[in-house]
Amino acid sequence: MASAGDVQALVTDPKLVEERRGQIVRAAVKLFSEDGYYTTTIQQIARQAGISTGLIYQYFRDKDDILFLSLKMVLDTYEHEIPSQLDGLTDPVERLCVSVWAYCHIVDRLREATVLAYRSTKSLRADRRILIKDAETRTNRLIEKCLKACVDGGYMREINEYMLSYQLVMFAHSWALKHWVLSEHYSLERYVGEGVTLLIEPFLTAKGRRGLAGVALRKRAFTSDSPFGDEAKPAAALMRRRKRATA
C-alpha cells in the first residue's frame, strides 16, 4: 500500500517524470493561486501547461497529488536551500541573519506557491496535511537552532527561541502574503534589512551587536541580493547613526 507521501506515475523515466511534473505543478500553482483549488480543473491545468489532459494522468492520479507536490516543492526548497547558504559560516549572528535572508529570497522566488500553502493546505487529504505541517516544522527548527546558538554563545540575551523563530518565519512569509503593499515601499533587500533591525538587533548583547557590525561589513562581498550592502542598511540603523552624529 502506498504511503501518504507517494505520488505514483505511470511513466518510469525519472528525468522525464521530474520535468513533466515541474511543468504541470508550475501551471497548477498559477491557477490554484488565481482561481482557487476547488474551482480549478485538471483540464484547465493541462491547457495552462500546454499539454493534453490525458498526459497529466500519466504523472498524477488526481488533483490532490498535484496540490500535494505543489506545497511540498516549497517546503523542500526551504529545507534544502537554507542550510546550503549556511555552509562554511561559523559566526552565530551571521548564520542567523543569512538564514533569514535565504528564507526571504526563497519566498520571493516562490511567492505564488507560498500564498497557496496558506490558502490550500486544508484542502489536502488529512494524512498529507500532517506531512506538510511536519515539513514546515523542520524548517522552523532551522531558524530556532540559529537563535539558540546566538543565545548559548552570548550574542543574544535569553529569549523564547521557539516564539521568535515563528516571528521570523512569519516575517518571511509576509513578503508573499502582503507583497502587493510591501513591494511599494521596500525592495526585498531593504525589507530583510528592516527585519534584522526589528526582530534580531533588539535582542543582541554588546557582543552580538559587534558581531552584527562585522556581518554587515563582510556581506558587502555578497551579490546585490544581500540585505547587508550599502543600499539595504535598515532605516532604523541609519536613524541611530544620524542621531549620534548630531548629538
Contacts of 58 (CB under 8 A, 6+ apart): 9, 10, 11, 20
Residues 99 and 146: beta-carbon distance below 8 Å: yes
In angstroms, rounded to a whole number, what is the distance separating the alpha carbons of residues 104 and 102?
5
Residues 68 and 7: beta-carbon distance below 8 Å: yes
What is residue 220's predicted lDDT score, i.e. its pLDDT? Answer: 54
In angstroms, rounded to a whole number, what is the distance separating the alpha carbons of residues 152 and 95?
14
What is residue 1's predicted lDDT score, i.e. its pLDDT? Answer: 52
CA 235 to chain centre: 23
Which uninterrupted H or E stretch holds 179? helix 179-185
Question: What CATH number does domain 64-246 carry, 3.20.130.10, 3.40.710.10, 3.30.70.270, 1.10.357.10?
Answer: 1.10.357.10
What is residue 228's predicted lDDT score, i.e. its pLDDT? Answer: 47
pTM recorded for the entire structure: 0.83
pLDDT along the chain (247 residues), means of 10: 83 94 95 92 96 96 95 92 92 94 94 92 94 92 97 97 97 96 94 92 95 74 43 43 44
Per-domain residue ranges of the chain: 64-246
